[in-house]
A = this chain, B = another copy of it.
Amino acid sequence: MGKQFLEITEKEKVEKIIADFSVKLATQIAVEAEKVKIGEALGRIASADIFSLLSIPPFDRSTMDGYAVVASDTFYADENNPSALIIKGYIPAGEFPSQYVEKGYCMGISTGAPLPKGVNAVVKVENTSEYRDSVEGEREGGKIKKVKIYKPVAPAENIMLAGSDIKRGEQIVRNGTTLTPRETGVLAACGINEVSVRKKPIVAIISTGNEIIAPGEDLKPGKIYDVNAQALSDSVRESGCTPLFLGIASDNIEEMTGKIEETLKEGADVIIASGGTSAGVGDLLPKAIEEHGEIIVHGVDIKPGKPFIFGMLHEKPVFGLPGNPTSALITFNLFVAPLLRTISGIHLQNYEEGESRKTKRKKAKAGLRIFSERGRNEYVLVNLVPVKTPGEGEEPFLAYPILSGSGAITTLSKADGYIFMEKGKEIIEEGEMVEVELLASRF
């Protein structure tokens, strides 16, 4: 248990190293695609441009219940002098008419039904009345069905032309688009029931520590339940990736190295280990990484989160987060989530520019004086309390720091976000405006 020192890297430098690497990794992962049924496609990301193989609508369609006519037959119609047309029959939606309609004739038609040949407009049923014409009927040996048209229609009125919505060959979804109900609806319209989406990156999660046991097991003396496996798995899900929990490793180098080799066998794209990263007995992760890979960052100038590790192992990024759940969550949010969002592509769903890879922010007023440790970049977890009746232009939230021990788990569940106090900023006065970076699911 000798003294060891971490070589501290600046936060901005760490962010840049990881961001540069994210882009490279995203390019590799973006090409890996899988097919899913359209019923399971919601929220997935299209892995290619999608084009329609059909025109929509596939035929000229009536947009009204009424009569399909030759428009010129109606041009001089009004309430007093209606046009009278002979009805050749009725076209319900879903049936394709075989008749040809010449001038002086028409066909009854339902909304959505295909137009017969010869017509070029539809008169709404409200502007018509049917009757039996016995005069004409006598000539033709009985009563015949006719309709009076009280209002003229222009050519193409109440018709949706074939292909006017989507043309065959038209691009309907762009590569990289997150599929919402609108996109899945358009795919359905084009008859597409399977879609190629980006593979969700697999993120292996390892918890380390002799004292850690899984929830559900018996709590023996000296042991505590593993918080990070659950909190990190769910954070990984929120970042658009699939977590793969590989269990708890004891503090010994063989077990740690074994777990890490397992992640590679399981096809993990990213590895996250938590615990065992401080400069004490638990300093095994760096050794395990160095056996087959390289440590790029070991220690960053922030509090909490100083013993953060970033390394590479067979070209896969490996993150070492502190065991303390709050520190693990903050370093996850700062350094891991941006990479996961980039490689999973979910940042593309924010159409607001510049928001893509960053966390969401909210302005608030400090509800109390907030102190930070001298000479440290510090993250202060806060909860946001809405002010009941905000005045004109007044900010609606107060930010209160969450005061608790460094290992506190309740800190986690109370926090809405955190305030960054840069080195040199040691006091935030009560009432001072602050920017709160929101934790992912508090958006």
CB within 8 Å of B: which A221-237 residues? 221-235, 237
Instruction: Answer whether residue A113 sits at the interface, using C-beta atoms and an 8 A cutoff.
Output: yes
Chain A 169-180 near chain B by CB (<8 Å), digits 1 or 0 = 000110000101
- Given A1-B108, A93-B222, A165-B408, 12 other A-B contacts at CB below 8 A? A63-B407, A160-B408, A165-B409, A172-B410, A172-B413, A180-B440, A181-B329, A182-B413, A185-B230, A186-B409, A191-B216, A353-B386
Count of identical protomers in the assembly: 2
Instruction: Answer whether residue A3 sits at the interface, using C-beta atoms and an 8 A cutoff.
Output: yes
Contact (Cβ within 8 A) A110 B282:
yes
Instruction: Answer whether residue A94 sits at the interface, using C-beta atoms and an 8 A cutoff.
Output: yes
Instruction: Answer whether residue A352 sits at the interface, using C-beta atoms and an 8 A cutoff.
Output: yes
Chain A 389-423 near chain B by CB (<8 Å), digits 1 or 0 = 00000001000000011111110110110000000
Of the residues B59, B173, B225, B440, contact of A221 by C-beta under 8 Å? B59
Docked Cα-Cα span, A224 to B130, in Å, equals 29
Instruction: Answer whether residue A42 sits at the interface, using C-beta atoms and an 8 A cutoff.
Output: yes
Docked Cα-Cα span, A235 to B185, in Å, equals 10
Q: How far, in Å, is A103 (CB) from chain B's closest CB?
A: 22
Instruction: Answer whether residue A255 sits at the interface, using C-beta atoms and an 8 A cutoff.
Output: no
Instruction: Answer whether residue A269 sits at the interface, using C-beta atoms and an 8 A cutoff.
Output: no
Of the residues B3, B57, B186, B225, contact of A224 by C-beta under 8 Å? B57
Instruction: Answer whether residue A339 sits at the interface, using C-beta atoms and an 8 A cutoff.
Output: no
Docked Cα-Cα span, A89 to B186, in Å, equals 70
Instruction: Answer whether residue A370 sits at the interface, using C-beta atoms and an 8 A cutoff.
Output: no
Docked Cα-Cα span, A281 to B90, in Å, equals 11
The 6 closest A-B pairs by CB, nearest first: A185-B231, A94-B210, A65-B280, A94-B211, A181-B234, A96-B222
Closest Cβ neighbor of A354 among chain B residues: B386
Instruction: Answer whether residue A31 sits at the interface, using C-beta atoms and an 8 A cutoff.
Output: no
Give the chain B neighbours of A442 by CB distance below 8 A: 180, 351
Contact (Cβ within 8 A) B439 A182:
yes
Instruction: Answer whether residue A246 sits at the interface, using C-beta atoms and an 8 A cutoff.
Output: no
User: Which of A111, A184, A190, A238 lies at the interface centre, i.e. has the most chain B CB atoms within 10 A of its CB?
Assistant: A111
> Would you give 12 A-B contacts (Cβ < 8 Å), ordered by A?
A1-B65, A93-B211, A180-B441, A182-B413, A185-B413, A186-B227, A188-B229, A190-B225, A351-B416, A351-B442, A352-B386, A353-B396
Contact (Cβ within 8 A) A166 B280:
no
Instruction: Answer whether residue A305 sits at the interface, using C-beta atoms and an 8 A cutoff.
Output: no
CB within 8 Å of B: which A343-358 residues? 349, 351-353
Contact (Cβ within 8 A) A412 B182:
yes
Instruction: Answer whether residue A56 sits at the interface, using C-beta atoms and an 8 A cutoff.
Output: yes
Chain A 195-224 near chain B by CB (<8 Å), digits 1 or 0 = 000000000000001111011110111111
A residues lining the B interface (CB < 8 Å): 1, 3, 38-39, 42, 54, 56-59, 61, 63, 65, 90, 92-96, 108, 110-114, 125-126, 130, 160, 164-166, 172-173, 178, 180-194, 209-212, 214-217, 219-235, 237-238, 250-251, 278-282, 323, 325, 329, 349, 351-353, 384, 386, 388, 396, 404-410, 412-413, 415-416, 439-442
Known A92-B210, A125-B280, A407-B160; contact A215-B187, beta-carbon cutoff 8 A? yes
Contact (Cβ within 8 A) A410 B165:
yes
Of the residues B3, B166, B192, contact of A125 by C-beta under 8 Å? B3
Docked Cα-Cα span, A173 to B409, in Å, equals 13
Contact (Cβ within 8 A) B219 A58:
yes
Contact (Cβ within 8 A) A281 B187:
no
Give the chain B neighbours of A181 by CB distance below 8 A: 230-235, 238, 329, 440-441
Docked Cα-Cα span, A294 to B248, in Å, equals 58
Give the chain B neighbours of A349 by CB distance below 8 A: 441
Contact (Cβ within 8 A) B211 A113:
yes
